[in-house]
Amino acid sequence: MKKLLKSGFVKFGLLSLAATAVLAACGSAEATEEAAATTNPDAETVIVGTGNAYQPFVYLDKNEDLQGYDIEVLKAVDEKLDQYNFEYESMDFKNVLTSLSAGKVRLAAHNFAYNDERGAKYLYGEEAYNTYAHHIVVDESTGQVYQSLDDLQGKKVFAAPASEVAYILETYNAENNDAIEIVYSEASGELLVQGLQNGTADAAILTKFDTNKYNEQFNVNLQASDEALKTAGIFYIFNKGDEELQTAVDGAIKELRDEGTLSDLSIEFLGDDYTK
């Protein structure tokens, strides 16, 4: 009798497991169908051009997957815009805006601040998703302190080509007889720090975020000027004439700010809330 009961229990258990599997499969199928139903089949694909080596804003992880604060904000934006489907193409920073001009991408994402030169050529978003302040930075071992661009006359200063820093220095030089020697370099991280220590450049212009990051990462003591040279909002950039996409993205960013999502993402990826 016990044997029969055991056999019956096994059969019942197998039937129960089979039924559970069928229900789970049905539930999974229904979830997939529901997700498909909520995805707009007519959504317009938007190719986003971004960088690949500016951690933690835009970079490739060890699996060559695109990561970073700029990207996570755009993913959150995309979730709010049923009419669009964002796809991402990473490239060297110097090629991001070139690709936008050539129509290869419709949205440029690489921690872009506003400047007049870009503003004349491209359509900026109106909702900043981040802010930063530029400071003059030196290695403490040099014993030098620079508080203004005037202090940098006759000095060598690092700047990445086509960057906001290059624009700041080039604008100053245009009005001051090329008084600052701009050392154009795409070096970042350890190479930039080494350059400040070995005299390749006398100074760099960095955000407080980058200054703190390099100090912690490389166990150095970079010193930032007391006052910022420039405080700027950070925006996504579009081609002129693409106001519909710009307006949609701006609206989504405003919602993310109001919900607190922007602040949460900034704290998660940048270590503090730089969205205010």
Instruction: Say which CATH number the domain at 125 has.
Output: 3.40.190.10
| Average pLDDT of span 72-90 | 97
Q: How far apart are CA 37 and CA 252, in angstroms?
A: 22
Q: Residue 9's pLDDT is what?
A: 36
Is the pLDDT at 27 greater than 80? The verdict is: no
DSSP letter assigned to residue 180? S
**For residue range 38-62, what is the model confidence (pLDDT) as tens digits?**
568 889 999 999 999 988 899 999 9
Angle at 31 between CA 80 and CA 79, to 5 degrees: 10
Q: How far is CA 8 from the centre of its chain?
A: 61
* pLDDT of 6 above 80: no
Asked if 207 and 71 sit in the same domain, the reply is no
If asked whether residues 196 and 239 sit together in one domain, one would say no
Residue 70 lies in a domain: yes
In a domain, residue 69? The reply is yes
Q: Which domain holds residue 188?
A: 133-229
Q: Pick 71 or 15 by higher pLDDT.
A: 71
**Alpha helices in the chain, H assignment, sequence order:** 2-38, 69-80, 93-101, 116-121, 164-175, 190-198, 208-218, 243-259, 261-270
* Shared domain check, 148 and 124: no
Q: Are strands 156-159 and 66-67 parallel, antiparallel or unpaired?
A: unpaired
What number is the average pLDDT over the span 253-258?
A: 98
170-191: average pLDDT: 94
Do 99 and 144 fall into the same domain? Answer: no
- Whether residue 249 sits in one domain with residue 193: no
Q: Please check whether residues 204 and 242 belong to one and the same domain.
A: no
- Check residue 188 and give its pLDDT: 77
Residues 113 and 54 in one domain: yes
**Residue 125 dihedral angles phi and psi, to the nearest 5°:** -65, 160
Task: Report helix, strand and coil shares of the chain as percent, to nearest 5.
Answer: 45, 25, 30
Q: Which of 125, 149, 132 is nearest to 247 (CA)?
A: 125
Instruction: Please tell me the predicted confidence (pLDDT) of residue 38.
Output: 52
Q: Are residues 84 and 211 in the same domain?
A: no
Task: Give the C-alpha separation, 10 to 109, whole Å.
Answer: 59
At 18, the amino acid letter reads A
Q: How big is the chain by its Cα radius of gyration, in Å?
A: 26
pTM reported for the whole predicted model: 0.66
